[in-house]
Chain A
Amino acid sequence: MKILLGVGGSEHSRRALEETVERVRDTGDELTVAVFRSEAVAAPPTDIEADVNEVLETHDVNAEVTRVSGHPGGELVTLADQGGYDRLVIGGGTRSPLGKIQLGSVAEFVVLNAETPVTLIR
């Protein structure tokens, strides 16, 4: 399976990264990690990319790491739909003060707009 993982540097996307890389290590799927800039995250894309590479190395997993600019949701969807991917994976979903789950804007855009099946890790 050919998997595209979107990573924006949030806590949720960090978890999505760990889970996906662990899974890819077991399945041997072909993984591409797309780093995007999220409004809610202060870390520059270079830091996020370094973190992604470190996680990949720790788990001894090979993956192409790419960067998307512009509208992150739109770019991820285009990349997944046109790049022949079987699955688009994204982290997302924060909790409100009283515990309601709320989707972030990138996750929401991807879920609504991707033709490629989406896995949301929250």
Chain B
Amino acid sequence: MSGDRSYPTEVSGPFPTPPHAFTDEDGRNIVVRVADDREALVSMYEAFDPEDRAQGIPPVGEGSIRRWLDRVFEEECLNVIAWHGEDAVGHSMLVPDDENAYELAIFVLGSHQSAGIGTELLQTLLGHGKQQGIERVWLTVERWNDPAIGLYEKVGFEIRNTESFELEMAIRIADS
């Protein structure tokens, strides 16, 4: 990955920390918790709409989903899940890169999109990350994906790189 990525000088936040309970814009009670149950995510991703995939993830098919989850649940990775009752309806993760920063991704089930869950989920993951000592976070997003870019900007991400297929965005959540 590019070693010349720059991060905002301003620290974003404060952010909520898990467990974080809220009512979404459709009146549903949602709670974001640190992930301890990978099985619920397998079902969530099996129900995932192909059009909501991004750059090859989540993969399709139970085996590939499990292999990918193994990777993002490795040591030093952080995962939070948005729960609606017994169902996992959103998942966001931080995975370390080689440069002391973390790559972020977030997925929300189609049935639970456009209700503010993504914002709360993202903010809670960043709050959790800060608690764990993480300072810098980046992500890539398809440049046509305006709703996602808007969400990331709202939380404090800034656009870093506009030269490739995907847009790169970065945020600072703590001082170095």
Contact B164 A105 (CB under 8 A): yes
Interface residues on B, range: 20 to 34
User: Which of A95, A97, A102, A105 is close to B96, meaning CB atoms less than 8 Å apart?
Assistant: A97
* Bound Cα distance A29, B97 (Å): 42
Contact A100 B71 (CB under 8 A): no
**A-B interface contact total, Cβ < 8 Å:** 46
Report A20 CB to chain B, min CB distance, Å. 22
User: Which of B56, B95, B166 is close to A97, meaning CB atoms less than 8 Å apart?
Assistant: B95
Query: Within A49-103, which residues are at the interface with B (CB < 8 Å)?
Result: 95-103
Query: Within B51-101, which residues are at the interface with A (CB < 8 Å)?
Result: 54-57, 59, 68, 71-72, 93, 95-98
Q: Which residue of B lies closest to A103 (CB)?
A: B165
* Bound Cα distance A2, B50 (Å): 35
Contact A99 B96 (CB under 8 A): no
Q: Which residue of A lies closest to B93 (CB)?
A: A98
* Bound Cα distance A106, B131 (Å): 40
A18: interface (CB < 8 Å): no
Contact A102 B97 (CB under 8 A): no
Query: Within B148-162, which residues are at the interface with A (CB < 8 Å)?
Result: none
A108: interface (CB < 8 Å): yes
Residues of the A chain whose Cβ atoms lie less than 8 Å from the Cβ of B95: 97-98
Contact A98 B164 (CB under 8 A): no
Residues of the A chain whose Cβ atoms lie less than 8 Å from the Cβ of B56: 95, 99-101
A-B contact sample (12 more), CB < 8 A, given A100-B54, A102-B165 = A98-B72, A98-B95, A98-B104, A98-B105, A99-B59, A99-B71, A100-B57, A100-B140, A101-B56, A103-B164, A105-B164, A108-B164
